[in-house]
Structure 1
Amino acid sequence: MGKLPGERFELRHYARLTVAKNNHIYLARDNHYFSVPYTLIGQRVKVIYTRSMLYVFHKGERVAIHSRGFNQGSYSTLKEHLCSQHQHYRDRSPEYYRSKAAQHSKVLSRYISLLFKQGKIPEQLYRTCDGLLALGRKVDKERLEKACNTAMEYKVYSYTFIKNMLENNMTEATAEPSARELPEHGNVRGKTYYDQYQ
């Protein structure tokens, strides 16, 4: 009998995925994003994953390898994969999104600029920016600006926050209820009434 394998046997799972504009593929099973070289944006890739690892292949060649990530909605990113690390690739960049936002509104442009100052890798924010620009095409400019101003006031930089504000009509100004005086009537006891019991 031969030696037992040095590594534990792991089931393999297969998927065919498209590389998004933010340099990542999305593995729905984990609700997790994995980076792929920027030259493959828009391409279909073959993904093989086990309990612990994920491998990405394009035309039979392995182009990326990651430890499997299980943080819901998070990113596993290798900087060398990112288009922001390559000056000649400018189709998607913070400047691109700031410029697109400025065509719509100065407030939206400022909001997106602050979004990129949150310390995240730019590619991890591109989906948020795409969502915000899409809202800019669908929603009244004044309402979107109010939502952005509120979000900036609370330092919340999130597409979901802006979308929820708009869907729940939270951009409408709510006036503070004015203090009204009580109406006069005969059942009100004044100070002199209570003085007699001291």
Structure 2
Amino acid sequence: MPAAHRAHREWSPGRFLHWADTIGAATRQLVEHLLTERPHPEMGYRSCLGLLALARQYGDDRLEAACARAWAIGSRTRKSVQSILHNKLDQHPLPSAIAQTDWVTPDHVNLRGPTYYRDPPTTH
């Protein structure tokens, strides 16, 4: 059997998860997602290899921060993590979302208000 085929036989979801554990919790979470989002875990192996290979280029800390950011923004692909690392977004804090209770609608003369929808329309 060729060496590449033997190496591929050694891959397993457990091996990828263990490797991701050595980097951090966010990386493990993303690797789990890559392995479970497809019908068969084997279909996610290449994405996991690409993701974990980014640790060699950028380091474990940056990869962990990028995985956390990708998870937070809902973009859970290797390509998104690579883009975050390339653009150094992992080194900046995530912008905080404005809470709905903090939002105040500005007053305008053209706002209808609640009575517009409660009262029946008038005919002229």
TM-score, normalised relative to structure 2: 0.61
Measure the CA separation in 1 of the matches of 2:94 and 2:17: 33
Displacement after TM superposition at 1:117 (Å): 2.4
Structure 1 residue 107, shift from structure 2 partner: 2.2
How big is the shift at 1:112?
0.6
Counterpart residue number, 1:161: 80
> CA 1:167–1:175 in structure 2 vs 1: closer, same or farther (change >3 Å)?
closer
Pair 1:112 & 2:31 matched: yes
Aligned length: 93
Q: Which one-letter code corresponds to 2:58 in the other structure?
A: V
Show the counterpart of 1:151: 70
Identify the residue that residue 142 of structure 1 maps to in structure 2.
Answer: 61
CA deviations 1:149-185 (Å, max 9, x no partner) are: 1111233221111111101111122587xxxxxxxxx
Cross-structure match for 2:46? 127
CA distance in 1, matches of 2:41, 2:82: 21
Mapped contact 2:35–2:45 kept (Cα < 8 A): no
Structural mapping, 1:69-88, within 5 Å? none
Tell me which amino acid in the other structure corresponds to 1:122: P
Give the Cα–Cα distance (whole angstroms) in 1 for the partners of residues 84 and 94 of structure 2.
17
TM-score normalised by structure 1 residue count: 0.41
What is the Cα deviation at residue 140 of structure 1?
Answer: 2.9
1:171 and 2:74 matched:
no
- Runs of 4+ off more than 3 Å: none
The answer to which structure has the higher helix fraction is 2
Structure 1, unaligned runs of 5 or more: 1-18, 22-40, 43-82, 84-88, 177-198
Contact 2:23 2:61 in 1 (8 A): no
Residue equivalent to 1:102? 21
Contact 2:23 2:64 in 1 (8 A): no
2:89 & 2:19 partners in 1: Cα distance?
25
Local SS of the residue matching 2:90: coil
Structure number having the greater strand percentage: 1
Task: Give yes or no for contact 2:47–2:78 (8 Å, CA) kept in 1.
Answer: yes
Instruction: Return the letter of the residue paired with 1:107.
Output: A
Q: Deviations over 1:48-102 (max 9, x none)?
A: xxxxxxxxxxxxxxxxxxxxxxxxxxxxxxxxxxx9xxxxx6x111111001111
Distance 1:98 1:133 in 2: 10
Shift of 1:138: 2.3
